[in-house]
């Protein structure tokens, strides 16, 4: 039986993305003890007081110790940056309707939304977003801070690098490797390996530019 103290969690981020995470947590019986945001005056989290986040001088004053934190921020880079600042433990939020194989692994800080499917022998990294209705087939490897958008479909033996964003309704065929910090546009069909920092759109997917790394 789960003790009540183990069902408490803190949320970092109070924008629109946090609303989805909040509902997942509340449906699972969690109590949200604190909410933080870098711009607490511009938030959607109306049901609870929002405290200032980590920016500026707040880093030293931030209450790192306490209940586990879930970073409720959709931007992959910002999520990775905040995770690096925090000296806290991290929770996991999984919607009750998600289907997750018992042989898959899910890293700390990751969120899995309604209707998502994660098939056998798949490894999901830390602070990943598996969004509504996303399908991740067997033997996938999803890097830290990645975002698999609603209705995206990843076939078997696909690899997605750190920080990459797979857009809404995108399809990745089997055994394709997508590098780190890539952006795969909505509806894109990925038929071959994609190098780091690429932006890919279309059917079939084509690289339209490479992101600057400095």
Domain ranges of the chain: 4-85, 93-205
Tell me, yes or no, if 138 is annotated catalytic: yes
Out of 2.160.10.10, 3.40.50.2000, 3.40.120.10, 2.70.70.10, the CATH code matching 93-205 is 2.160.10.10
Fold classification of 4-85 is: Rossmann fold (3.40.50)
**Euclidean distance between CA atoms 42 and 33, whole angstroms:** 20
**High-pLDDT (> 90) share of the chain, %:** 75
Position 4 confidence tier, pLDDT thresholds 50, 70, 90: very low
pLDDT of 135-155, one tens digit each? 999 999 999 999 999 999 999
Work out the number of other CB atoms within 10 angstroms of the CB of residue 107.
16
Better-scored residue on pLDDT, 3 or 52: 52
Q: Shortest CA distance to 117 belongs to which of 153, 166, 163?
A: 153
- pLDDT exceeds 80 at position 1: no
pTM: 0.91
Active-site hit among 17, 67, 95, 138: 138
Strand partners, 100: 118
pLDDT digit string, tens, across residues 20-76 = 999 999 999 999 998 988 876 656 555 566 776 766 566 667 788 889 999 999 999
Q: Of 113, 123, 25, which is closest to residue 69 (Cα–Cα)?
A: 25
Other beta carbons within 10 Å of 30: 21
- Residue 193 pLDDT greater than 90, yes or no: yes
Q: Phi and psi dihedrals of 82, rounded to 5?
A: -65, -40
Which has the closest alpha carbon to 109: 66, 78, 80?
A: 80
């Amino acid at each position: 039986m789960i003790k009540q103290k183990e069902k408490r969690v803190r949320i970092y981020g109070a924008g629109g993305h946090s609303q989805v995470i909040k509902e997942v947590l509340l449906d699972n019986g969690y109590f949200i003890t604190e909410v933080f945001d870098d711009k607490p005056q511009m938030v959607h989290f109306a049901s609870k007081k929002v405290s200032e986040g980590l920016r500026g001088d707040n880093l030293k004053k931030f209450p790192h110790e306490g209940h586990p934190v879930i970073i409720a921020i959709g931007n992959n880079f910002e999520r990775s940056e905040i995770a690096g600042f925090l000296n806290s433990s991290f929770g996991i939020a999984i919607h009750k309707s998600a289907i997750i194989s018992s042989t898959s692994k899910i890293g700390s800080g990751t969120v899995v939304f309604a209707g998502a499917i994660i098939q056998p022998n798949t490894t999901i990294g830390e602070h990943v977003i598996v969004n509504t209705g996303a399908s991740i087939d067997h033997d996938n490897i999803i890097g830290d801070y990645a975002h698999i958008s609603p209705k995206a479909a990843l076939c078997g033996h696909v690899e997605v690098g750190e920080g990459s964003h797979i857009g809404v309704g995108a399809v990745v065929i089997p055994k394709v490797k997508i590098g780190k910090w890539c952006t795969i546009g909505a509806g894109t069909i990925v038929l071959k390996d994609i190098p780091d920092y690429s932006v890919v759109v279309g059917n079939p997917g084509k690289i339209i530019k490479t992101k600057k790394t400095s």
